[in-house]
Amino acid sequence: MDIWEGAHDESWEHAQEALAKSGMSDGLPVVPPTRQRVDSALRAAGVDGSTIVATLPPAFAEVTWRDVAINAVLAGCAPEYLRVVGAAVAAMGEPDFNLLGISTTTGSATVCIVVNGPVAAAIGMNSGANAFGPGNRANATIGRAVCLTLRNAAGARPGEIDMATLGQPGKYTFCFAENEGRSPWPPLHVDRGFASDTSVATVFGVSGTIEMVDSESADAETLAQTFAQSMLIAGNVGSAGLLGGSEPLVVMPPEHAEAFAREGLTKAQVKALIYERALLSIERLAPKQRARAAAGGGASDGYLRVAKKADDIAVVVAGGVGRKAAYVPTWSGGTKSVSRKIVSPA
């Protein structure tokens, strides 16, 4: 590996120090949000900077397109990413998402963004190998821009309003595209009523990720058993008496999806197979946790579930080679995912 031979820019170090002192940084280096960069992003999105995108808790701030653009620049977004960031920010502002709870909890909740439709390929998003990981500018910076907007424009500053006990790496960024070309089923946005050629951003309030490894199961029922048992986390008993926040996200690689599809199963049938096996006996909980589950209306038959009904499980296909899936539990304090259309520039 060689040293980069470009010109040393001393002003860059000064800018980093100033932006860090201002509180606008998430701890990583940021791109100075100069007027030229912000205006370039607004032009690319075809929006008026003074237009309000959403009113966001916890400060209940009226967040404009200019606010979003400033944070997109800080995050390192290319100008053409702004419309995706804006759609995710608008979705976060919907009451059902419960951004107030997500942004102030002592839990590890953060925002996960799933992007569907033509925009994902147009801006080069990663939906394949290492979709959750580093190496792709669009994935990394769109998710980071959303988190910076929540911090800088909506007031969720760590240790002040964001009171997470530990937090999680997803508080820096958590954004990926669905691997629609490798999925045997309709993608997430079509499940939610959008046309297949519409670009959509969906936000989930999530608590982390759990890897689900099963390279051996050859039939749908045993594979569903692995998925279901991986979702039974006693420390994630929610206020609704469920394991988690009622809308668990399952991200499966193409090889797992194809294994289910070879038996002719629809996505709805896969959800049902997982749901009926994802049962945790209330007797396995600590006594105080049992009381919490009962108070939330759960375990009336002696078992805790991951959702109120099978269709509440969200299934998204993403990733590359291998049979390693992910369970992404939603925040146990209560949240509903929200989808918003990504509007093309005028």
- Note whether 155 and 227 are within 8 A (CB): no
CA-to-CA separations, 139 to 131, 174, 285, 328, 345, in angstroms, rounded = 8, 8, 38, 17, 20
Q: Report which secondary-structure segment, H or E, holds 220.
A: helix 220-230
pLDDT at residue 112, as a whole number = 98
What pLDDT is stored for residue 346 in this prediction?
61
In this predicted structure, what is the pLDDT of residue 290? 87
Residue 297 is predicted with a pLDDT of 84
Q: What is the DSSP letter of 330?
A: B
Task: Provide the b/e sequence for 143-181 (b: ≥16 CB within 10 Å).
Answer: bbbbbbbbbbbbbbeeeebbebeebbebbbbbbbbbbbe
pTM above 0.95, yes or no: yes
Q: pLDDT 10s digit of each residue in the chain, 346 long?
A: 999 999 999 999 999 999 999 999 999 999 999 999 999 999 999 999 999 999 999 999 999 999 999 999 999 999 999 999 999 999 999 999 999 999 999 999 999 999 999 999 999 999 999 999 999 999 999 999 999 999 999 999 999 999 999 999 999 999 999 999 999 999 999 999 999 999 999 999 999 999 999 999 989 999 999 999 999 998 888 878 899 988 999 999 999 999 999 999 999 999 999 999 999 999 999 998 888 888 888 888 999 999 999 999 999 999 999 999 999 999 999 999 999 999 887 6
The token pair that represents 26 in the structure block? 């998430």
Query: Could you give the angle at which helices 220-230 and 254-262 cross, rounded to 10 degrees?
Result: 140
- Per-residue DSSP letters for 263-320? TT--HHHHHHHHHHH-EEEGGGS-HHHHHHHHHTT--TTSEEESSSSGGGSEEEE---
State the pLDDT at residue 247. 93
Label residues 267-300 b or e (16+ Cβ within 10 Å = b).
beebbbbbbebbbbebeebeeeebebbeebebbe
In this structure, what is the dihedral angle of CA atoms 72, 77, 78, 79, given to the nearest 10 degrees?
A: -10
Cβ contact 248:231 at 8 Å? yes
DSSP of 105-150: -SS--EEEEEEESHHHHHTT---STTTTSSS-HHHHHHHHHHHHHH
